[in-house]
Chain A
Amino acid sequence: MEKHILPDIPNLHKIDVYEAHGGYGALRKALQMKPEEVTDEVKKSGLRGRGGACFPTGLKWTFMPKSREAGSQTTGQTAKKKYLCVNGDESEPGTFKDRQIFEFNPHLLIEGTLIAAYAMGVSISYIYVRGEYAKWITMIEKALQDAYAKGYVGQKILGSDFSTEVLVHKGAGAYICGEESALMNSIEGGRGYPRVRPPFPAQFGLWGCPTTINNVETISNVPLIVKNGWEWYSRIGAAKHPGPILVGVSGHVNKPGVYEMPTGVPLLEIIHKYAGGVPGNKAIKAVIPGGSSTMILRGEQLEGVCMDAESLKAAGSSVGTAGLIVMDEETDLIQVLSRIAQFYYHESCGQCTPCREGTVWLWKVLKRFENGEGTMEDIDLLMDVANNIEGNTICALGDAAAWPVQSMVRRFRDEFEKRVKVPDSTKAEAIAV
Chain B
Amino acid sequence: MLSEQNLKKLDGLKKYYQTSQALVLPALWMVQEEHGSISEEAMKYVSQLLHVPYSHVLGVVTFYTMFHAKPIGKHHIEVCTNVSCMLRGSGRLVEHLEKRLGIKMGETSKDKKWTLSETECMGSCGTAPMIAIGEEYYENLTPEQVDALLAKLERK
Residues of A bordering B, CB below 8 Å: 81, 90-96, 98-99, 124, 130-135, 165, 167, 169-175, 186-192, 206-207, 209, 248-252, 256-258, 288, 292, 323, 325, 327, 331, 335-336, 339-340, 343, 346-347, 349
Contacts and interface: CB of A to CB of B under 8 A. Distances in A.
Nearest to A257: B126
Contacts of B128: 250, 256
Contacts of B127: 256
A346 B50 CA distance: 30
Given A94-B84, A135-B135, A250-B84, A189 B19 contact: yes
B65 A288 contact: no
A284 B23 CA distance: 48
A323 B124 CA distance: 12
B21 A251 contact: no
Nearest to A136: B123
Contacts of B17: 187, 189
A173 B123 CA distance: 12
Given A93-B120, A95-B123, A124 B16 contact: yes
Interface residues of B, number: 42
A175 B120 contact: yes
Contacts of B24: 189-190
A336 B64 CA distance: 25
Interface of B: 16-19, 21-26, 28-29, 50, 52, 56, 59-60, 63-67, 81-84, 86-88, 120-128, 132, 135-137
Contact of A323 (B19, B50, B125): B125
A132 B66 contact: yes
B79 to A, nearest CB: 13
B28 A172 contact: yes
B123 A96 contact: yes
B63 to A, nearest CB: 4
29 contacts: A93-B84, A93-B120, A94-B83, A95-B123, A124-B16, A131-B66, A132-B66, A132-B123, A133-B123, A135-B137, A171-B64, A172-B28, A172-B29, A174-B64, A186-B25, A189-B25, A191-B60, A192-B64, A250-B125, A251-B84, A256-B88, A257-B126, A336-B86, A339-B83, A340-B83, A343-B82, A343-B120, A343-B121, A349-B63
Contacts of A130: 123
A92 B121 contact: yes
Contacts of B59: 190-191
A325 B87 CA distance: 9
A252 B85 CA distance: 10
Contacts of A343: 82, 120-121
A343 B122 CA distance: 12
A181 B107 CA distance: 34
B126 A256 contact: yes
B23 A174 contact: no
Contacts of B86: 335-336, 339
Contact of A165 (B16, B21, B28, B122): B16
Q: Most B CB atoms within 10 A — which of A170, A191, A192?
A: A191
